[in-house]
């Protein structure tokens, strides 16, 4: 089984920007939502993926991801996501030997910045960078699925 162990933080400063490498436009939406799983379609640069995840915003989730033709993903985003598509610029950052991503949201959520780090185990120690603010791991309002439905989180 594919497993994702991920922590998520609000970004509180611009100090990360000089470390950004290979920013890419990401467009994503959800073609299936249920009580136990979600199915996401995503384009990232010139590539596209279909991802099945266990539902929720928890620290540990089952995750299966498959590359699909870009044209198929583009059509799914246009036709099957009911206008609930997230657009963001994804920045990759190496910080103290770990790979972080910072998602800089576009459109109605412009200004929202979320940092994510994937871990090897649930109790992995990490030193938080100065730009990583309040942890929002497990807060449903900050899951991409909920952002696609409701927009800007009420607490942000």
Answer whether residue 87 is part of any domain.
Answer: yes
For tokens 């576009």, the residue is: 106
> Does residue 98 fall inside a structural domain?
yes
| Residue with the two structure tokens 């938080």 | 128
Residue 129 lies in a domain: yes
Please spell the DSSP secondary structure of 45-81, one letter per residue: TTEEEEEEEESS--SEEEEEEEEE-HHHHHHHHHHTS
Q: Strands 37-44, 3-11: parallel, antiparallel or unpaired by DSSP?
A: unpaired
Confirm whether 155 is domain-assigned. Answer: no
What are the tens digits of pLDDT across the range 62-71? 899 999 999 9
pLDDT exceeds cutoff 80 at 58? no
How far is the first Cα of the chain from the last one, in angstroms, to the nearest whole number? 33
Q: What are the tens digits of pLDDT across the range 76-135? A: 999 999 789 999 999 999 998 899 999 999 999 999 999 999 998 989 999 999 999 999
pLDDT surpasses 70 at 1: no
| Residue 84 vs residues 40, 48, 59, 147, 151: alpha-carbon distances, Å | 12, 17, 24, 9, 9
| Residues designated as active site | 30
Q: Which residues contact 58 (CB under 8 A, 6 or more apart)?
A: 138
pLDDT tier, 17 (very low <50, low <70, confident <90, very high otherwise)? very high
> The domain that contains 92 carries what CATH number?
2.40.320.10
């Amino acid at each position: 089984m594919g497993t994702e162990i991920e922590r998520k933080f609000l970004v509180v400063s611009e100090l990360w920007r000089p470390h950004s490498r290979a920013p890419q436009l990401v467009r994503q939406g959800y073609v299936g939502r249920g009580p136990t799983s979600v199915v996401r379609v995503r384009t990232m640069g010139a590539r596209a993926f279909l991802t099945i995840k266990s539902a929720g915003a928890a620290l540990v989730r089952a995750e299966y991801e498959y590359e699909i033709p870009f044209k198929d993903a583009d059509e799914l985003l246009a036709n099957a996501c009911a206008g609930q598509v997230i657009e963001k610029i994804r920045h990759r950052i190496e910080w103290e030997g770990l790979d972080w991503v910072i998602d800089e949201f576009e459109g109605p959520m412009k200004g929202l910045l979320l940092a994510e780090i994937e871990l090897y185990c649930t109790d992995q120690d990490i030193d938080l960078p100065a730009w990583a603010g309040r942890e929002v791991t497990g807060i449903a309002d900050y899951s991409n699925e909920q952002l696609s439905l409701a927009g800007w989180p009420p607490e942000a």
